Amino acid sequence: MIVIPEWLDETSKIKYENEKSMLEAIELYAQDDGWKVSDGSDLSPFMRQRTDVLLEDTKEESSLRLAVLVKSSNNRGMIRVDASYLLTVVLVYQGKKPIWRVEAAGIRVLDNFMMDSAGWKWLVNLLFQQ
């Protein structure tokens, strides 16, 4: 199951193709890793309106909430990732180079983030290291 929020296709001038591709990749690798993917409809209304995609690791009782940020330019893009252990990172699309950067509290953590199997494991480790 791949969840792509409908609102990403509801704007005519601004395209969210990069964000959609990244969401899809994250969801695929999460599912391969045994995580459950949903649109977060089981969350409280308060959390639901802050969530586009919910990833849950039922074994570890961990979850990740993904939310696409509104933008004003096609060559940009940001996805907020909130972990159930209260850490937050932002994936920032670099328009001039088609790559994603990972930031925490406005500080660069990784400049060239690739969402593949290793990238998924790196992200989970970053967000859930205690």
Site residues (CB under 8 A) for another protein?
5, 7, 10, 44, 46-47, 49-52, 61, 67-73, 76, 78, 80, 86, 88, 90, 103-107
Shortest CB 71 distance to another protein, Å? 5
For residues 98 and 121, which CB has a smaller minimum distance to another protein in the complex? 98
For residues 121 and 126, which CB has a smaller minimum distance to another protein in the complex? 126
Q: Strand order in 99-104's β-sheet?
A: 36-38, 53-57, 62-68, 78-83, 88-94, 99-104, 107-113
Structural contact between residues 37 and 4, judged by C-beta atoms closer than 8 angstroms = no
Q: Is 125 exposed, middle or buried (0-12, 13-18, 19+ CB in 10 A)?
A: exposed
Shortest CB 105 distance to another protein, Å? 3
